[in-house]
Amino acid sequence: MSENNVTVPHHFVTHVDHVGIAVPDFDAAVEWYRANMGFVNYHEEVNEEQGVREAMLGPAEKVEGGTLVQILAPLNDESTIAKYLDKKGPGIQQYALRVTDMDALMAHLKEQGTRVLYEVPKKGTAGSRINFVHPKDAGGVLLELVEPAK
């Protein structure tokens, strides 16, 4: 059994925010979750900077702090999602944790030697601030950090 030595203040991370799924056909994926899971579309946008069309889906009776499904489809062949689809095909591309203070958490992670992908957080869904922990430092998965818009 491992010790539970918490080195990061527990209030920095509140819950799993969403799981991001890369898909080649945005409309078909959104419709599948609607028709088969009864999910509703809580938010949809095009992020030109990241070259992606995205939607945040979840159960009709949304629970505060509940985890959503993010559908991610490429806008062009150069986007990260297009490259992911070419290499790995459709599927889970990342999971995201909701954070309360992106700047403080990034400083802590860097102090611990953890690599983040961006020196400065980028604009994410619905005006949030995002960054990613390098997969080699997060158990082989792309870990997104999401600080909601204030």
Integer Cα distance of 97 and 14 in angstroms: 7
Quick check: pTM over 0.75? yes
108 exposure class (CB count in 10 Å sphere: 0-12, 13-18, 19+)? middle
Give residues with Cβ within 8 angstroms of 17, minimum separation 6: 67, 68, 96, 97, 98, 144, 146
- State mean pLDDT over 16-39: 98
- Has residue 131 got a pLDDT over 70? yes
What is the C-alpha separation between 9 and 21, in angstroms, rounded?
A: 29
Q: Please give the Cα distance from 95 to 28 (Å, whole number).
A: 21
Q: Are 122 and 35 in contact (CB under 8 A)?
A: no
Name the CATH superfamily, with its identifier, for domain 10-147: 2,3-Dihydroxybiphenyl 1,2-Dioxygenase, domain 1 (3.10.180.10)
Q: What are phi and psi of 146, to 5 degrees?
A: -125, 120
Would you list the domain boundaries of the chain?
Answer: 10-147
Q: Kindly indicate the confidence band of residue 57, based on its pLDDT and cuts at 50, 70 and 90.
A: very high
**What band does 69 get if pLDDT is binned at 50, 70 and 90?**
very high
Q: What percent of the chain has pLDDT over 70?
A: 94
